[in-house]
Amino acid sequence: MEPEDDEDSPDASILMRQEIEKRKVGRPAGTANKEQVAIRLDKEILTAFRATGAGWQTRMNNALKEWLNSHSTI
């Protein structure tokens, strides 16, 4: 429906159309350079990280970074 066809509130139709045009599909892109992968982990490892609550994947990522830093050969 065109805004001029909406007799009840033509201004609302214009505003609604502007909001819809601004919206994007999906989550906003993150700032980190991350890649989604599929890996197999021992069940107890995964259970332990998940038990820490929201942000468990970030904590797992940080644990892996820490391991790399302490085992770096460079």
pLDDT (tens digit per residue) in 36-54: 899 999 999 999 999 999 9
Distance CA(45)–CA(64), nearest Å, equals 12
Distance CA(3)–CA(17), nearest Å, equals 9
- Give the percent of the chain with pLDDT over 70: 81
Q: What would the mean pLDDT of 4-10 be, rounded to a whole number?
A: 61
Q: For the chain, what is the mean pLDDT?
A: 83
Measured in whole angstroms, the distance separating CA 71 from the mean position of its chain's CA atoms is 30
How many domains is the chain partitioned into structurally?
Answer: 1
Q: What would the mean pLDDT of 51-68 be, rounded to a whole number?
A: 96
* Domain span holding position 20: 3-70
